[in-house]
Amino acid sequence: MAPPEEENVSKWSVKDVTDWLDSISLGHKSDLIETAKFDGEKLSGASAEDLQAIGFSNLQCKKILRELESRPASGGAALQAENASLKQEMAELRAMVKSLQTQMGASKPAASTGVIAARPTTVIPFCTRAVIEGAQTQVLTVTLSPGEVLRAEPGAMVHMSYYIKMETKTGGGGGGFRRLMTGQSLFLTEFTYMGPKGSADTIALTPDFPAEIIPVNLDHYQRKIICQRGSLLASGLIDISIEFTQSFGAGFFGGEGFILQGLNGSGYVFLNARGTVLKKDLDAGEKLIVATGNLVAFSSTVKYGITNMGGGLQNDFFGGEGFFVSEMTGPGTVWVESHDMSRLWKEMQSKV
């Protein structure tokens, strides 16, 4: 089926959208568009999460957004303004790359060790540049343009372009100590794409254990979430802060220790978790009980505490959940993993 004749996507009808999906080999998903009454106005402003919410897979979202991005600009005033904005961003990127090339000198990237210095940077549009592949042992592939910087845990890199420069750093200003306190490595790595103007290339990362990778847009959670120690895989240039548990009991019995890590900033972060990951949205005052060791992360609006399972000593000693569990109180979002690594390790030891 031919794509719509109207160039301005925001003016498309629902049928125009389904015709366009058919033209990019996604016509078998037209029912999702029709059910959600997803017209051109919604499509033109849609994010990957908006598309996933109506039933598209992660890879299908990437394809839809890439195809939209590659469409020629129409004569509409709104799209002309967007085109002008993109040209301005490209000009700023070219200036940044020129400045970086002047400072770095050598054309071939090399690894070095140093301290992170504050500098202006662009936020990587992960919604169109990041692809997560695999099932329970996943790989994150990110496409970088000149001057863009990706941060990751040491040892996470699987492969990368020749023009991507790797630097190992501590975080500066006590940043390395803060990372160490929150369960991450003392060091982190920054990957900066130094390729020619107008080019782009990829880097692939994976956790150091079989895990599922969770993309979280901080802009959807008041630019901050709180994670269990060691759960961060990769991000743009965000701040990592120390988050103390809200009570002595939560730290002593909650299974995650007294110190958690706060991820502060804009754009996406990528977390890793064992087994299947569940996302639970809590209303104000709603409580969720999470087994010790299965908590991955939660939004900053959620209150974290501990509680007894109840039901007497028989539950405490023989119920398998221990004496205490985590109690999460809304409003906000909680991410939970199906596998507790410490419990899995104990089970493996018992079989040896």
pLDDT digits (tens, 9 = 90+) for 277-336: 999 999 999 999 998 788 899 999 999 887 766 544 444 444 445 557 888 999 999 999
- Burial tier of 238 (Cβ tally within 10 Å: 0-12, 13-18, 19+): buried
Q: Is 90 helix (H, G, I), strand (E, B) or coil?
A: helix
> Could you tell me which residues come within 8 angstroms of residue 304 by beta carbon, excluding any fewer than 6 positions away?
226, 245, 246, 250, 254, 260, 298, 326, 327, 328
Which of 49-63, 68-82, 120-134 is predicted least confidently? Answer: 68-82
List all residues 6 or more positions away from 211 whose beta carbon is below 8 Å from its beta carbon. 136, 137, 138, 272, 273, 274
Contact by Cβ (8 Å): 151, 236:
yes
Q: Which of 104-108, 130-134, 337-341 has the lowest mean pLDDT?
A: 104-108
Q: Which amino acid is at 57?
A: S
- Average pLDDT (161-190) is 64
Residue 228 CA to its chain's centroid (Å):
15
pLDDT at position 319, please? 46
Q: How many CB atoms lie within 10 A of CB 343?
A: 15
What domains are defined for the chain? 9-70 (1.10.150.50), 126-205 (3.60.160.10), 212-351 (3.60.160.10)
Percent of the chain exceeding pLDDT 70 equals 67
Cβ proximity of 275 and 337 under 8 Å: yes
pLDDT value of position 67 = 86
pLDDT at 305 (0 to 100): 82
Is residue 135 predicted with pLDDT exceeding 50?
A: yes
The pLDDT of residue 90 is: 62
